[in-house]
A and B are shown apart, each in its own frame.
Chain A
């Protein structure tokens, strides 16, 4: 059974700092997705990573995938308050997505 673990589950940080969210998964997969969810809202797709070594960047967020290590990272550079949200990773397993529990990120001014 594929399991997806995110850590940390909660992160409070100051604006301007850098940090990384980790997503580990338990079986082979070459396809991983990152989503953002604001409180009480729906999920918004951030990144689609489809191969080993894939790296995607959008603004202050950068995601990468290492399929050999079964690890994806979401790196936040010089955080700003607007990035406060819950971030989910999801791994494709036979056309179904297995979701991590989410990382709640709070960025303080």
Chain B
């Protein structure tokens, strides 16, 4: 079955360490997104990519980095520069935006930094 796989489901890190969250999709989607969700809040866009080897900053990109070397993969690195990294991170993908198809989401990674 096609879908989006995020790993790991839970991640614990010490403050000052970089950490990379994995996101893989087999939906053949062009666009991929990373969102952050804090308790009781909506989603905020971190980075997005419409095509391989290209990505754009979202609303809260500071302290995060991404790469898009393959169509299927869009890993997110949470760097030590991110001041408050503890959150639920969701990866999503979509087909060509002109089709206005909804986003497909992975199951998320819950990151806790102490």
Contacts and interface: CB of A to CB of B under 8 A. Distances in A.
A25 interface: no
Interface in B87-102: 90, 92, 97, 100-102
A41 B88 CA distance: 10
Interface stretch (B61-69, B78-86, B104-112): B104-112
Chain A contact residues: helix, strand, loop or mixed: strand
Contacts of B102: 33, 35, 45, 48
Interface residues of A, number: 23
B103 A97 contact: yes
Interface string B40-57: 111111001000000000
5 contacts: A42-B106, A43-B92, A44-B105, A99-B43, A102-B41
Interface of A: 4, 31, 33, 35, 40-45, 48, 50, 88, 90, 92, 95-97, 99-102, 104
